[in-house]
Chains A and B, each alone.
Chain A
Amino acid sequence: MSETNGNGNNLLQNSRSLFGNIGLPTAIIAAFWLFTLVVGHFVGISMSTLVSDTIKRAGMNGILVLAMVPAIQSGTGPNFALPIGIVCGLFGLVCSIEMDMMGMGWLLASFSIAIPLAAFVGFIYGKLMNAVKGSEMTIATYTGFSIVALMCLAWLMIPFRNPKMGWFIGKGLRETIQLDAVGAAQILNNFLMFKMGEVIIPTGLLLTFGFFSALVWLFFRSKSGIAISAGGINPKFAQAAGLDIDRNRIFANVISTILGATGIIVYSQSYGYAQLYTAPLMMAFPAVAAILIGGATASRAKVSHVIVGVVLFQGLLTTALPVANEVFAGTDLSEIMRMIIQNGIILYALTQVKRGVQ
């Protein structure tokens, strides 16, 4: 952070370097979040609830945001096809319920079904991304949409029998499956959970997020990780250095899809419900918005961007909604505000794509 020392010139330079390091969108969102917190305090909203919620939501969304890092680093841009990973995760999760797994067993079974599936699907998706170089982001968005639509049919038609997740009348899976029923709601959140004053710290959830963040961070310091990044920054350079860029891009998208699958399982247990059908449709957008707020560009992303971004973005949402409801009582502005902020950020970030690549 810059220190102001009264000198006008220095102040200008400092503020420039401040924005240089943190980025204008990050700074604006941070300032806005602080502003809503202050307003919230004056309209009498419990700060500890807000902070607890922020931590919880950051933790549950974290891995989904993390899924953006490999995709961006490899040069395919933010993974707008995150729903592909998400439906893989959901599929693992319902299969695990079908097998009557409970608690931790359910969680591990979900992971072990979802991850191989996501790896396979991610491989095919990576091949698709290589075939459409130059328009990855648009194609990815619609691939995500299509998969969700396709899975709507699948959820209806796959003959699952476990009554915990079927409709009461008719065939197919319910829209929302309560994870209470398998003893898995908040199973990670409650692990080693403690209270700091009024603030709830979901230790297990944060540890999980931290674990995956560390994995991704380490990965990008490994030989393959460096090769993937180089291919993303400068394909010509990577090619001249004898790298197989296409293979690296596929690999990166496999990792991204796996993270998406893992992320939705962690998300669902924290939420307490697994949401099927059209719920995953728009889930890529908050994740993209979060990493961009964190300071990533459409061509460069780091794990630190994920952490900063997910805290800021989820913090702003959790705070802005009750505050907006309180300030504009009787209206339902909160959802509209969420849409404006989220899509505004994505729009801003996408206009910066060229500048990011230089």
Chain B
Amino acid sequence: MSESLLQFKNVSKSYYGNRVLTDINFDVKKGEIHALIGENGAGKSTLMNILFGMPVITSTGGYEGEVLIDGKLINFKSPHEAMYAGIGMVHQEFMLIPGYTITENIKINREITSPNIVSRVFGKRLETLDMVQMNNDARKALDKLDMGIDEFIMVAGLPVGHMQFVEIAREIDKTGIKILVFDEPTAVLTESEAKNLLAAVRRLADKGIGIIFISHRLDEIVNVADRVTVLRDGELVVTKDIGDTDAVEIASLMIGRKVAIDRVQSDTRKISDEVFLNIKDLHVAMPGEMVKGIDIEVRKGEIVGIGGLAGQGKLGIANGIMGTYPSRGDITFNGKPMKLHAPHSAIASGIGFVSEDRKGVGLLLNESIELNIVFTAMQVGNRFLKKKGPFRFQDDSGLRKHALKMIKDLDIRCESPLQHAGSLSGGNQQKVCVARALTQDPIFLFVSEPTRGIDIGAKKLILDLLLKLNEEHGMTIVMTSSELAELRSICDRIIIICEGRVEGVLPPDASDAEFGLMMSGSRIKKGKDSSGGRAPNV
């Protein structure tokens, strides 16, 4: 049990001078389940990409440090090589062909064949499939997982939990599999399916396979893993035996103390008791960010933060209300019921929206800064227009005046208002997006991922700007962000979304552990043991 199967020694990686992994040292022993945990962007995927020799690593100059398997130095150039060396991966999204049987899916591209007349002439690719042998192999792999399901059934129509098992069966059918990586394997499973899966993972480990188990469900990790390694901001925080720690500690290690942006509060702020936006039972079908029934009340003058891990649905909320994705639910805004899936009426009723997808939804990259700033106000509010006969033309001078004012007010660094928005830096692009939302004179602002992909100085400017809008103009703001630190720096309260529902609401000064536990969906009270169980939504 103690010999090291896989070792990472001082592994570092940077993308274009941007360091994403620093001096990672960790190892996986034979028959061990080693959990890997960290927030989005902590470096989990990069580490796995290095292990699998993904092109994204090799094409960006490789990595520093050493990776050893069975004590031998390896440096895979492609995932194919990694596969031959006995490394397998079970993906979060299934890579199965629905119209094929389970056997065919398990054996794809590794079919067992026997020669026939045609293949003797035209080569190996035309040999006959040995279905009997293939079915036997598939059966063996499924039996290893205690799966009673018949191997000749089509994958299409199988329950999600079974698909996951087929995926695992494919990996263990590969001869000489030594290391198996599970990337959030339970994310799409129901509780009982997840339980079965975890039991199967344990059985595989008992057969001597080393397992890397990536998950953000702390209770699962505590239940199944032997050791846990916590990554944060590309650094390895700690590796611990699971017996020496608990979910609360892991959660606080995962969040950690980041460079805090100071929290400044002025006394002039007024938060009234009036509920400004009332969201009831909101469902949003945003791919990758599904919202599954959320109730939120926002009071006038508040800054509300919405946090949570990626893919849990926090981004879907603003998009659903603003009508960019199909949604249903009862929304009351400013005392009036709101129509859903109607961006025009949402904007007209005084809600501004700064989208998380700056380049895709937020900007017309090849158009001027000034057009980007006034666009929505022009189209929805009929401003910056001059009437001439039946036509309404853009009012060039009015538009320019406003754009110059915004450029000055928000300190947008550009050469001229005619410069294309696409040529600006990320922070300045974001300011253009904010400027456009402000030009609509909104009374309520949705801001999603306002600091994504911009440098720390610009981050501070954007956050200060939001705070200023709230303090000076009494604007109610709902900010959605993956960065807890920035939510904690300006929000009055932070709603944590997990699996499409509200997991809980925390004050900004709550402890790291509380945030960590809530974000990973493990609602374990301090002191209590990891009894697990998901609480009903708030």
CB atoms of A242 and B379 under 8 A apart:
yes
CB atoms of B393 and A240 under 8 A apart:
no
Q: Which of A72-80, A203-211, A219-227 contacts B (4 or more CB under 8 A)?
A: A219-227
Question: How many of chain B's residues touch chain A, expressed as a range?
Answer: 20 to 34
Cross-chain contact of B378 among A218, A223, A300 (Cβ < 8 A): A223
Q: Known contacts A240-B353, A243-B379, A244-B344: does B364 contact A222 (CB below 8 Å)?
A: no
Contacts of A233 in B (CB 8 A): 364, 366-367
Contacts of B364 in A (CB 8 A): 230, 233-234, 237
User: Is A193 at the interface (CB under 8 A from chain B)?
Assistant: no
- B152 to chain A minimum Cβ distance, whole angstroms, is 37
User: Is B361 at the interface (CB under 8 A from chain A)?
Assistant: yes
Q: Known contacts A230-B375, A242-B344, A242-B348: does B357 contact A222 (CB below 8 Å)?
A: no
Cross-chain contact of A226 among B346, B366, B379 (Cβ < 8 A): B379
CB atoms of A223 and B379 under 8 A apart:
yes
CB atoms of B393 and A218 under 8 A apart:
yes
CB atoms of B394 and A241 under 8 A apart:
no
Which B residue's beta carbon lies closest to that of A223?
Answer: B392
CB atoms of B347 and A242 under 8 A apart:
yes
Contact code string A232-271 (vs B, CB < 8 Å = 1, else 0)? 0110110111111000000000000000000000000000
Q: Known contacts A241-B347, A243-B379: does B394 contact A223 (CB below 8 Å)?
A: yes
Contacts of A227 in B (CB 8 A): 379
Cross-chain contact of A239 among B324, B348, B363, B382 (Cβ < 8 A): B324
Which B residue's beta carbon lies closest to that of A234?
Answer: B364
User: Is B482 at the interface (CB under 8 A from chain A)?
Assistant: no
B residues 345-371 near A (Cβ < 8 Å) are: 345-348, 353, 355, 357, 360-367, 371
Complex-state Cα separation, A241 to B362, whole angstroms: 9
Q: Known contacts A218-B393, A230-B364, A233-B366: does B371 contact A240 (CB below 8 Å)?
A: no
Which A residue's beta carbon lies closest to that of B353?
Answer: A240
Complex-state Cα separation, A107 to B2, whole angstroms: 94
Complex-state Cα separation, A236 to B323, whole angstroms: 11
Contacts of A221 in B (CB 8 A): 393-394
Complex-state Cα separation, A241 to B382, whole angstroms: 13
Q: Known contacts A218-B391, A241-B375, A241-B379: does B357 contact A236 (CB below 8 Å)?
A: yes
User: Is B380 at the interface (CB under 8 A from chain A)?
Assistant: yes
Contacts of B324 in A (CB 8 A): 236, 239-240
- A356 to chain B minimum Cβ distance, whole angstroms, is 10
Which A residue's beta carbon lies closest to that of B376?
Answer: A241
Which B residue's beta carbon lies closest to that of A236?
Answer: B361
- A17 to chain B minimum Cβ distance, whole angstroms, is 15
Cross-chain contact of A222 among B346, B348, B353, B391 (Cβ < 8 A): B391
B residues 328-343 near A (Cβ < 8 Å) are: 343
User: Is B385 at the interface (CB under 8 A from chain A)?
Assistant: yes
User: Is B322 at the interface (CB under 8 A from chain A)?
Assistant: yes
Instruction: Show the binding face of B for A, using Cβ within 8 Å.
Output: 322-324, 343-348, 353, 355, 357, 360-367, 371, 375-376, 378-380, 382, 385, 391-394
23 A-B residue pairs with Cβ-Cβ distance under 8 Å, sorted by A, are A222-B391, A223-B394, A226-B378, A226-B394, A227-B379, A233-B366, A234-B360, A234-B363, A234-B365, A236-B360, A237-B362, A237-B364, A239-B323, A240-B322, A240-B324, A240-B353, A241-B347, A241-B375, A242-B345, A242-B347, A242-B376, A243-B344, A243-B379
- A-B pairs with the 3 shortest C-beta distances? A242-B344, A242-B343, A241-B376
- Extra 6 A-B pairs, beta carbons < 8 Å, given A227-B379, A234-B360, A237-B360: A219-B391, A223-B379, A223-B391, A233-B366, A240-B322, A241-B375
